[in-house]
Structure 1
Amino acid sequence: MPTGVHLRDARQQLFDAAERVLLRDGPIGLTSRAVTDEAGCAKGVLHRHFSDFDAFLAELVLDRAAQLDTHAGALREAAGSGTVADNLTGALIALFGPVAVAIIPLITFRDELRARLRQARPGGGIEILAGGTTAISAYLADERERGRIAADADIDSLTLSLVGGGHLLFADRDSGPPTTETVSNLVTAVIADAVQRRPAR
């Protein structure tokens, strides 16, 4: 990497390299040397832009959390269109993409990273999923207002079931991500009662 490269370009190149290492080698394999080797740059480039490796990792997590926030916004906008099951299936697939699933054990693995994230954002590391969880809850509330799910549906319980079940489906990285049909089956089972009991319009 040229020494005069723009900061934003350097950050993105390093983030993308870290993502590849994390997906390939897991949290244990994610070191500053592994990141810079993957990015094809000198180790000093990382330390030129970040105070230390945990600062770099904290920025990586927050950057990827911001990307999930974009998907969360799209879910809210989908209320009233398509089917509730299809909208939620797409949301879970976006929320539990391979990067998000890999980042959760990374946060668990590094105490200092958790501390940095707690300082940067309420909720700490698991905040990477909080935006999506909040969006699912808000989406369900929107659909309840529209009469597409039951007026007495327990939004909190539905959200916990969807997010918890989704995480379990996606957590086994060795066997690959679940199929869309598998995710759809989970969603359909979770929301079936609330959808069937919706009032007639």
Structure 2
Amino acid sequence: MPTGVHIRDVREQLFGAAERVLLDAGPSALTSRAVTTEAGCAKGVLHRHFDDFDDFLAEFVLARVHRMDAQAAALRRAAGTGTVVGNLTGALTAVFGSAAVAIVALVTFRDELRARLRRTWPAGVPVLTEAAEMIASYLAGERDLGRLDAAADVDTLAFTLIGAGHMLFADRQAAPPGAETVRRTVTSIIAPALAP
């Protein structure tokens, strides 16, 4: 892009480009040059807005984590409606159908990125931790409404659902699992905790 051409919302444009590169080619292909080429801008644009590439990546990951806020609120509002299995199937499909699996691979792939994220995200992998908190909050709501057993350990159920969901969606080469596969997995995990 020629010097002096104004780019609207440059951060989001760069984040969108990073997400596309990450989804198309994986974490090893995610370089500052790949991002700026995908975004259609000069490499210097990225470095004017971020201290370095790992600073950019940390901001990218956190921006994608914060996108889950609306999804978490919608899932909490769904408590008491539909079925617990249906709501969880939809939530896991939405989480892992996004860039979440690729972001987990990116965080695992880059030591410096993990170190930077630890400054503001002290435990866990950001996307997975946020997803587990979202699921646990929803399950607590269902437990409060009596649709889950009063003794249900919502945190353990949430971690189990997130781990299983990640395993289902982790293969970047194969097609994502169908809704029935996700539903069967959710059912096998959640069925013992459903209120009779």
TM-score range, shorter chain: over 0.9
The DSSP-based 3-state class of the residue aligned with 2:6 is coil
Partner of 1:135: 134
Q: CA deviation at 1:41?
A: 1.0
Distance in 2 separating the partners of 1:50 and 1:193: 48
Q: CA deviation at 1:111?
A: 0.9
Distance in 2 separating the partners of 1:88 and 1:151: 18
Residues 145 and 99 (structure 1 numbering): CA distance in 2 closer, same or farther, change over 3 Å? same
Q: Deviations over 1:8-67 (max 9, x none)?
A: 611111111111111111111111111111111111111111111001101100000001
Question: In proportion to residue count, which structure has more helix?
Answer: 1
1:178-197 correspondence runs (5 A): 178-195=177-194
Partner of 2:56: 56
TM-score by length of 2: 0.93
1:94-113 correspondence runs (5 A): 94-113=94-113
1:115 aligns with 2:127: no
Distance in 2 separating the partners of 1:76 and 1:3: 46
Structure 2 gap segments, 5+ residues each: none
Partner of 1:44: 44
Partner of 1:166: 165
Q: CA deviation at 1:121?
A: 2.8
Partner of 1:86: 86
Residues 56 and 76 (structure 1 numbering): CA distance in 2 closer, same or farther, change over 3 Å? same
Q: Which amino acid aligns with 2:71?
A: H
Distance in 1 separating the partners of 2:131 and 2:4: 38
> In 2, are the aligned partners of 1:95 and 1:129 still within 8 Å (CA)?
no
Structure 1 gap segments, 5+ residues each: none
Q: Deviations over 1:85-138 (max 9, x none)?
A: 1110111112212411001111111111111111133326x1222222112112
Partner of 1:76: 76
Q: Which amino acid aligns with 2:108?
A: T
Partner of 1:66: 66
> In 2, are the aligned partners of 1:69 and 1:132 still within 8 Å (CA)?
no
Q: CA deviation at 1:190?
A: 1.1
The DSSP-based 3-state class of the residue aligned with 1:167 is helix
Partner of 2:15: 15
Distance in 1 separating the partners of 2:4 and 2:10: 10
Q: CA deviation at 1:4?
A: 5.0
The DSSP-based 3-state class of the residue aligned with 1:96 is helix
The DSSP-based 3-state class of the residue aligned with 1:45 is helix
